[in-house]
Amino acid sequence: MKKDIHPKDYKFVVFKDMSNDYAFLTRSTAKSKETIKWEDGNEYPLIKLEISHTSHPFFTGKMKFVDTAGRVDKFKSRYQKHYDKNKQ
């Protein structure tokens, strides 16, 4: 293996799936300005996830529409005038 290619600043971090509030504690080099109090009483940096294995359709077997950024509404508002023009 090559030397000195992996980061050395691993620390405990909480990753939280915001769609279903599932959270897990693991070691990571990811940085965050937010913190959360974990089950053991300690505070750890918090990384928010839009989707994880507990909410992804591949793992859950359920199709679920995820539009956290409002992409559909943005698309509709952008092309509303074309829709109205064709409707008349």
Query: What is the 3-class SS of 33-51, one letter each residue?
Result: CCEEECCCCCEEEEEEECC
60 is a domain residue:
yes
65 is a domain residue:
yes
Instruction: Copy the structure tokens of residue 16.
Output: 């939280």
30 is a domain residue:
yes
Tell me: pLDDT of 64 over 70: no
pLDDT (0 to 100) of residue 10: 92
Average pLDDT of span 56-68: 61
Picking from 65, 16, 20, 61, the residue whose alpha carbon sits closest to that of residue 38 is: 16
5 is a domain residue:
no
Residue pair 49/82 in contact (Cβ under 8 Å)? The answer is: no
User: What's the pTM value of the predicted model, to 2 decimals?
Assistant: 0.61
56 is a domain residue:
yes
1 is a domain residue:
no
32 is a domain residue:
yes
pLDDT (0 to 100) of residue 56: 64
Residue pair 27/13 in contact (Cβ under 8 Å)? The answer is: yes
28 is a domain residue:
yes
Tell me: pLDDT of 65 over 90: no
Provide the number of structural domains found in the chain. Answer: 1
Name the residue range of residue 47's domain: 11-87
Rounded percentage of the chain residues whose pLDDT exceeds 70: 75
Rounded percentage of the chain residues whose pLDDT exceeds 90: 36
Alpha carbons 48 and 51: distance in angstroms, whole number: 9
